[in-house]
Structure 1
Amino acid sequence: MKVLLINGSPRKNGNTFLALQEAARTLEEQGIDSEVVWIGNKPVRGCIACATCKTKGNGMCVFDDDVCNKVIGKMNESDALIVGSPVYYGVPTGQVIALVQRMLFAGADVKCKPAAAVAVCRRGGATSAFQTLQMPFQMVNMPIVTSQYWNIVYGREQGQASLDTEGMQTMRTLARNMAWMLKNIHSGNAELPQYEPWQPMHFIRED
């Protein structure tokens, strides 16, 4: 079993990495493999809603000039997902939002794979960023793994996150809960849920 951890910070070894690394260490202690993937500090395209990923049917984004398809490939080989981001102006980084939206829309293999979000900030805005990161999981049948508190870690300068004792403990608890869920999923005999065909609608009446 393997968990993919996405570091959505433009700073490779910053506080977001420290938070994810704490979770990864605990996963290893629980017998779960993990990989932290840094999305880099180069631009990540936003989705342009061309739907070519759907018509081509290969589960990849038609634009292959950034990290998106690499991450999709890693997600397809993983059993769970943790996405971490620093908080900029009360929201996650633009790069990580663009990545997650394209990854999930293009058709990455995520159905019934547990997921969690982690927000790292200096002071405020973490809860709104945390909620934003979690929203996509609820649209693609990914069970959300919780912890003892919202998955928030505080720190500004590099390395300060390690001083947030409660935040680091929250990461460890999150990882233990993730490991527990994965072990239960893989030890059980229950088949995956059977879903009805999607029936999209809007609130515009044309009659």
Structure 2
Amino acid sequence: MKTVAFNASARKGGNTSVMLKAALAPIEAAGIETELIELGAKPLQGCIACYKCFERKDGKCAVKMDAMNEHIAKMIEADAIILGSPTYFADVSSNMKSLIDRAGLVTRANGNLLNRKVGAGVAVARRAGSIQTLNSINLFFQISGMIVPGSTYWSVGFGLQPGDTENDTEGLATMQDLGVNVAWLLKKTVDQD
């Protein structure tokens, strides 16, 4: 079993990364392989609506100028996907939006490749807007036919400066609980031959 997490913050190792690592820790402790992918500040092209993915049906996006096809392959390979985004103007970052749009279209064009995978969202905000960020991520999971576990609170963290979320004890506890639930769900749903 494998869980892959994507950090859509421009700040590698920043607040979103702190929250994602907190969610991944109990998954890894449960013996499930984890990987954290930091998208960083390098932009991902948005979907250009060419629909080549529907014509080719090769599990890839026709736009080759960035690492999107590597990210899509990681999503297809994983049993669980955690998407983390900072809150920019009450929604996901542009890189998260590009990931959602392009991965969503490619996987739907190729037979709903994310169907029944586990999906968990993580949002980080300075103060407000995080629920819309979380909703955008969860709506992607739902339209992809994924299973979305909850936690003991909405999976959001609060902080502005890098490292601020390390002091968000409630947010870190929520991430811990989210990770426990992802691991439990994986062990209940993934066929282990």
TM range (shorter): over 0.9
Selected match of 1:130 from 124, 127, 134? 134
CA shift at 1:187, angstroms? 5.3
Higher-Rg member (1/2): 1
Alignment pair present for 1:32 and 2:32:
yes
Alignment pair present for 1:121 and 2:125:
yes
**Aligned twin of 1:204:** none
Contact 1:115/1:143 (<8 A) preserved: yes
Tell me the amino acid that sits aligned with residue 84 of structure 2: G
**Aligned twin of 1:180:** 184
Once the two structures are superposed, residues 109-141 of structure 1 have per-residue CA deviations (whole angstroms, 9 ceiling, x without a partner) of: 311001011000111111111111111111111
Tell me the amino acid that sits aligned with residue 142 of structure 1: M
Tell me the amino acid that sits aligned with residue 177 of structure 1: N
Listed as ranges, the matches of 1:148-159 within 5 Å are 148-159=152-163
**Aligned twin of 2:68:** 68
- Using the TM superposition, name which of 21-30 and 173-182 deviates more: 21-30
Tell me the amino acid that sits aligned with residue 154 of structure 1: F
**Aligned twin of 1:58:** 58
Structure 1 stretches of 4+ moved >4 Å: none
**Aligned twin of 1:48:** 48
Q: TM-score of the superposition, structure 2-length normalised?
A: 0.94
Alignment pair present for 1:165 and 2:169:
yes
> What is the DSSP-based 3-state SS (H/G/I as helix, E as strand, rest coil) of the residue aligned with 1:18?
helix
CA shift at 1:52, angstroms? 0.1
**Aligned twin of 1:205:** none
User: Structure 1: any 5+ residue segments left out of the alignment?
Assistant: 190-207
Tell me the amino acid that sits aligned with residue 179 of structure 1: A
Aligned partners of 1:112, 1:12: CA distance in 2, in Å?
A: 29
CA shift at 1:76, angstroms? 1.8
Tell me the amino acid that sits aligned with residue 40 of structure 1: G
Once the two structures are superposed, residues 9-37 of structure 1 have per-residue CA deviations (whole angstroms, 9 ceiling, x without a partner) of: 00001000000011111111111111000
Aligned partners of 1:143, 1:76: CA distance in 2, in Å?
A: 15
Listed as ranges, the matches of 1:3-42 within 5 Å are 3-42=3-42
Q: TM-score of the superposition, structure 1-length normalised?
A: 0.88
Aligned partners of 1:98, 1:12: CA distance in 2, in Å?
A: 18
**Aligned twin of 1:197:** none
Contact 2:5/2:35 (<8 A) preserved: yes
- Using the TM superposition, name which of 87-96 and 39-48 deviates more: 39-48
User: Structure 2: any 5+ residue segments left out of the alignment?
Assistant: none
> What is the DSSP-based 3-state SS (H/G/I as helix, E as strand, rest coil) of the residue aligned with 2:101?
helix
Tell me the amino acid that sits aligned with residue 155 of structure 1: G
**Aligned twin of 1:143:** 147
Identity rate, percent: 37
Contact 1:39/1:67 (<8 A) preserved: no
